[in-house]
Chain A
Amino acid sequence: MWQNMLLKSVEQGLVFGIMALGVYITFKILNFADLSVDGSFPLGAAVAASLIVGGHSPFTATLAAILAGALAGYITGFLNTAGKISDLLAGILTMTSLYSINLRIMGKPNIPLLNQPTVFSIIQGDIKKIFPGFPTQYTYLILFIIIVIIVKTLLDAFLKTQLGLALRATGDNPQMIRSQGVNTDMTKIIGLSFSNALISLAGALVAQYQGFADVGMGIGTIIAGLASVIIGDALVGEKSIFIATLGVLFGSFLYRFSISLVLSFRLAQASDLKLLTALVVILALTAPRFKKSLNRKRSNIYAGS
């Protein structure tokens, strides 16, 4: 049982880690509180599932999900930069619109994919033709590892290009990067598109992994993503981009693992998880402030005042 639980946590940590990397781009790199996530994650699932059920190749379907996510991010960015709507509200508007759009795309609240081909079933079939002894229980694990390595490498590399540097500076000091000739509206939109493309990719993969797309599957995605980013940051810090994104993935695994622990020891019901996650994020966000005021109180005591 333990082995199975660990395997599931690693699988989920990896596939949701792609989503967390997207959240890392907006929250950490761009300093943009993007709430589109709760809409773009199920958007990816909706697009992929509908296309697969409609007879399209799962690869085309997954690619289409990535593009749809990029478009959703573009819209949030456009609302924020051209429309001068605050980042929070722009994200909420996109997320809310996407709820209706996702229902339109799917035509019903839930699409099962049980007897449909997926990118995983196709690749597994191909591999088994070459290596008949392939341990199929590790298909997801191996494929997720490969996909995550590709995504992480691409993201790390992107953040070291001229455009990537400009993006990081946009989140860090927009005044400075404008005075270096960069259009910060453009960098924001690019960052949001990239982020939501990754999040939709994660949604498309999760739908094919769990065997269905559901219109409600996005609720709380942002909080799970934030939890992963925060746990990663707390554990490994930001010595370099490579380490930071690795931390996000590790945070995503730890997050999924602790959830399985809580559930298997019946410490809480599955329906309590969103509340628990929110509490973890609240704790992580306020901890630095707690520490500070605690230190201040202590030094006040030492100062005798």
Chain B
Amino acid sequence: MLVLENLSKTFNPGTPNENQVFNGLSLKVEDGDFITVIGSNGAGKSTLLNAIAGVFPIDGGKIYLDGSDITGLPEYKRAAFIGRVFQDPMLGTSPSMTIEENLSLAFSRAENISLRWGLNAEKRKLFSKYLSTIPLGLENRLNTKVKLLSGGQRQALTLIMATMKKPRLLLLDEHTASLDPKTATLVNELTEEIIKREKITTIMVTHNLEHAIKMGNRLIMMHKGRIVLDIMGEEKASLTIPLLLSKFEQLQGEKFVEDRVMLA
């Protein structure tokens, strides 16, 4: 279980660019939750995931995972139990290294890395087995440099790297947003399949309302650094796009605007 308690975060404090993103944000994520997160541009969705992953220190509040306080833990240590896929396909992999070398790094995630070989016959066999579960033909290209792959292939690879060692928590930040619709669907299906199979607690940011409604068991809407809607269970199951939008308008007294939101 992940607990966020009273998080506050201000970027560039004391400068003309000062930007308070969170001021007392709290959230409880249950084991096995698959939460989809939507919200307007600049609402703080990415900042929320970055705060959980420890990309930057937060100004106030506490973060607990399974009861232990991880607020002060550096990013690389949290990586032991957090898997991530970013919006930018360039961010999740090492471009000048091969597919198998990237997978090897993910395979020894959170272990003490040593002077043992990064790759061996056994690992290669295992990696091509992993890759053969996605219909992208990567299992025969273990020795290809990742920079030669398409965005969709990279995101699928990053997803496999993030989940190869089952993480306690999977953080997905618009990980299909930069893909063409067909590839996005493929990566989304892969995402759902892995999360269901491995029962991974997941927080997924998306700007696609349809995906947000269809996927997961719980939906959160963020607005100006606050969680304004938190819908789960039966209510989530019977949610529709018009219903979601009208709920938001009722609450905020303003229209939900997000230039990139896809309504269909």
Which B79-133 residues sit within 8 Å CB-CB of chain A? 79-80, 82, 84, 86, 90-97, 101-102, 104-106, 108-111, 113-119
Cβ contacts under 8 Å, A161 to chain B: 114-118
Question: Known: A162-B108, A165-B105. Is A172-B97 also a contact (CB below 8 A)?
Answer: yes
A161 → chain B closest CB, angstroms = 5
What is the interface size of chain A, counting residues whose CB is below 8 A from a CB of the partner?
23
Selected from A169, A183, A238, the residue in CB contact (under 8 A) with B105 is A169
Which B203-218 residues sit within 8 Å CB-CB of chain A? none
Q: Could you tell me the dominant secondary structure of chain A's interface residues?
A: helix
B83 → chain A closest CB, angstroms = 8
Cβ contacts under 8 Å, B161 to chain A: 180
Cβ contacts under 8 Å, B114 to chain A: 161-163
Question: Known: A158-B115, A165-B118, A166-B113. Is A178-B95 also a contact (CB below 8 A)?
Answer: no
Query: Quick one: which of B102, B104, B161 has the most chain A CB within 10 A?
Result: B102
Q: CB of B75 within 8 A of chain A?
A: yes
Q: CB of B77 within 8 A of chain A?
A: yes
Which B4-21 residues sit within 8 Å CB-CB of chain A? none
Selected from B53, B96, B102, the residue in CB contact (under 8 A) with A238 is B96
Say yes or no: B113 contacts A162, CB within 8 Å: yes
Question: Known: A162-B118, A177-B105. Is A183-B91 also a contact (CB below 8 A)?
Answer: no
Say yes or no: B106 contacts A180, CB within 8 Å: yes
Cβ contacts under 8 Å, A183 to chain B: 74, 76
* A-B interface contact total, Cβ < 8 Å: 82
Query: Quick one: which of B79, B104, B119 has the most chain A CB within 10 A?
Result: B79
Closest Cβ neighbor of B112 among chain A residues: A162
Q: CB of A117 within 8 A of chain B?
A: no
B233 → chain A closest CB, angstroms = 32
Cβ contacts under 8 Å, B80 to chain A: 181
Cβ contacts under 8 Å, B97 to chain A: 165, 168-169, 172
Say yes or no: A173 contacts B93, CB within 8 Å: yes
Question: In the bound complex, how far is the Cα of B86 from the Cα of A172, in angstroms?
Answer: 16
Say yes or no: B96 contacts A181, CB within 8 Å: no
Say yes or no: B101 contacts A165, CB within 8 Å: yes
Say yes or no: A172 contacts B96, CB within 8 Å: yes
A-facing mask of B213-246, CB < 8 A → 1, else 0?
Answer: 0000000000000000000000000000000000
Cβ contacts under 8 Å, A184 to chain B: 76
Q: CB of A97 within 8 A of chain B?
A: no
Cβ contacts under 8 Å, B82 to chain A: 179
B-facing mask of A175-214, CB < 8 A → 1, else 0?
Answer: 1111111111000000000000000000000000000000
Question: In the bound complex, how far is the Cα of B104 from the Cα of A145, in angstroms?
Answer: 33
Question: In the bound complex, how far is the Cα of B157 from the Cα of A180, in angstroms?
Answer: 13
Say yes or no: B93 contacts A179, CB within 8 Å: no
Q: CB of A104 within 8 A of chain B?
A: no
Question: Known: A178-B76, A179-B53, A181-B80. Is A162-B96 also a contact (CB below 8 A)?
Answer: no
Cβ contacts under 8 Å, B76 to chain A: 178, 181-184
A263 → chain B closest CB, angstroms = 37
A239 → chain B closest CB, angstroms = 10
Say yes or no: B79 contacts A181, CB within 8 Å: yes
Q: CB of A160 within 8 A of chain B?
A: yes
Say yes or no: A179 contacts B75, CB within 8 Å: yes
Say yes or no: B117 contacts A160, CB within 8 Å: yes
Selected from B77, B94, B96, B117, the residue in CB contact (under 8 A) with A177 is B94
Cβ contacts under 8 Å, B117 to chain A: 160-162
B147 → chain A closest CB, angstroms = 9
A-B contacts, 10 listed (Cβ < 8 Å): A162-B104, A163-B113, A165-B118, A168-B96, A173-B93, A176-B94, A178-B76, A179-B75, A181-B79, A182-B113
Q: Known pairs A161-B115, A176-B92, A178-B79. 5 more at Cβ < 8 A? A: A163-B114, A169-B97, A177-B94, A180-B79, A181-B76
B positions within 8 Å CB-CB of A:
53, 74-77, 79-80, 82, 84, 86, 90-97, 101-102, 104-106, 108-111, 113-119, 161
